[in-house]
Amino acid sequence: MKYLLIALFAALLFIPFLGAVHLFDWDEINFAEAAREMIVTHNFSQVQVDFRPFWEKPPLFIWMQVLSMKLFGINDFAARFPNAIVGIITLVTLFAIGKKLVNDRLGAWWALVYAGSWLPHFYFKSGIIDPTFNLFIFLAIYFAYSIAHSKNTYRLAALSGFFLGLAVLTKGPVAILVALLTLLIYFISRKGKIGIKLGHIGVIALLACVTTLLWFGYEIIAHGWWFVNEFVAYQVRLLTTEDAGHGGPFFYHWIVLLIGCFPASSFLFTWLQNRKNSKSIYAAGTGQELKDFIRWMWVLFWVVLILFSIVKTKIVHYSSLCYFPLTFLAAWQVYLLAEGQKRLKGWNITIIGIIGILLGIAIALLPLVGVYKNMLIPYIGDKFAVANLQANVPWSVAETAYGAGYVILVIVSLVLLARQSLTKGLLCLFISTIVVIQVTVLHFVPKIEAYSQRAAIEFFESMQGKDVYVKALSYHSYAQHYYARQQPPANKNYYNEDWLLNGQVDKPTYFICRITDSEPYMHHPNLEVIGEKNGFVFFKRK
């Protein structure tokens, strides 16, 4: 019954209103477009974008979106639905593991801590690959950990390898890199006493290879090595070079996790305290398993954080695998607090208060930016950003109440925690965050999308059902393919931008560019301006 209640709770959090806002360029639209093109071309073995091979990602998550689109149609809800299901499975899984490690109270806290933290919750409402990838690789790590604490060791090794293979089919060989580094660091930390034999590692490797070859093997047999070679080369390039527009400092992901995983991240600081009061919680028969799992989680956390701090390309979701160990370590501290095994120090409460109140203030200031944008525009030097702000988005000062309400609820949580009403304070903190996340997704995200891309999306949507060419100039986008519902081009000159601009085109041709890049096209002899809106300029071939 408890598993069913958690599944229903997760479904209510993650499924409603998935299609309330357009998919965001790049990643969400990228994957949805790949799924749409599989449906259009009936080529389910190769990932394509713009009806050309796209070797950046394997197909597993794309297949999940295809199934969803077959069920719900080609739309934004269907593109995000797989991650909502993954979210339900994730919370149930966390409850089950927590219950097995200690009891159902720890499992419930872990599920609540995960759902009640900003980015971990938010990603289950998205159409990106990472929530699915993270679940698979976490399960691979979990079953590897379980080998040392079970009699059915080779079955667990097989499960570990199977989920590792699924992780590779979801996002690529980075899964193997993370798994190997985690095992290596764990091996070193335990001085070789890990309870995992070479035979277990062999079974993990075998099942991972077999699972992975279900696609890679077929692809090599059917189409040769070139697609796989390009795929591997891209993965190496992504790790070793800075992708355009996605650089950042070494501590980029540290800040992302601290702010984005609030409130869970704030409870990691409680590990700095003396842990002597928590020793009694390790029950006979389960204590060693729990201690070992905590070690695995710390190792996984630091491996992922340091690895993607070193990687040149910095994107928010690259560190999202940290959400599993981070929320468990936080949930363990929350559990100890709720069970009276720990006490929160004043500095712990201060950290929670600073981050929570700053987030609430940021939410409260967002409507004021919309209301008083005309006062801010003179101080903005980016012409495209200024034009974005011209979007007609209704705001009112009263909407600051959402952020102010969150600040008040955080303060209430702090007061309860300071008075050592720990369970009430913790519940108030995490449940209020869940509520404000829902408000943000339903109320604020559509307004932000109206500024950032809606004018472009609406232009592309106006092309649906028309036999036309649509092309973005001077900036990269996947939106024109997905929202214009483009079909495979009969004329391969379509891929030649110069032909579209200057050649003898065989159908009406439309272009879009940002206002900052529009000057050369304004005076192009073959183009006429047909509109301009919120930073985007629209053209048609004469």
Distance of alpha carbon 495 from alpha carbon 523, whole angstroms: 23
Distance of alpha carbon 155 from alpha carbon 176, whole angstroms: 20
Q: What is the mean pLDDT of residues 20-26?
A: 91
Do the bridges between strand 509-514 and strand 52-53 make them parallel or antiparallel, or are there none, so unpaired?
Answer: unpaired
Residue found by looking up tokens 């269907």 in the block: 78
Give the model's pLDDT for residue 282.
Answer: 52
How does DSSP classify residue 276? Answer: G
Give the model's pLDDT for residue 54.
Answer: 87
Contact between 195 and 147 (Cβ < 8 Å): yes
Distance of alpha carbon 435 from alpha carbon 393, whole angstroms: 23
pTM of the complete model beyond 0.95: no
Contact between 513 and 475 (Cβ < 8 Å): yes
Give the model's pLDDT for residue 245.
Answer: 55
Q: What is the mean pLDDT of residues 124-141?
A: 97
Burial class (CB in 10 A: 0-12, 13-18, 19+), 15: middle
φ, ψ for residue 380, nearest 5 deg: -100, 125
Give the model's pLDDT for residue 285.
Answer: 42
pLDDT in tens, 385-427: 888 988 899 999 999 999 999 999 999 999 999 998 999 999 9
Residue found by looking up tokens 């272009």 in the block: 511
| Ranges of each domain in the chain | 2-247, 346-452, 457-541
Outline where DSSP puts E strands in 31-112.
48-49, 52-53
Contact between 509 and 468 (Cβ < 8 Å): yes
Q: What is the mean pLDDT of residues 480-498?
A: 93
Res 278 pLDDT > 50: no
In percent, how much of the chain has pLDDT > 70? Answer: 95
pLDDT in tens, 58-78: 999 999 999 999 999 999 999
Q: What's the pLDDT band for 280 if we cut at 50, 70, 90?
A: very low
Q: Pick the residue with more confidence: 25 or 320?
A: 320
The letter for the amino acid at 233 is A
480-511: b (≥16 Cβ within 10 Å) or e: bbbbbbbeeeeeeebeeeebbbeeebeeebbb
| Tokens found for residue 248 | 């950042």
Q: List Cβ<8 Å contacts ≥24 apart for 341-347.
A: 341/277, 341/278, 341/280, 341/281, 342/270, 342/273, 342/277, 342/278, 343/277, 343/420, 344/270, 344/417, 344/418, 344/420, 344/422, 345/273, 346/418, 347/269
How does DSSP classify residue 251? Answer: T
Give the model's pLDDT for residue 172.
Answer: 87
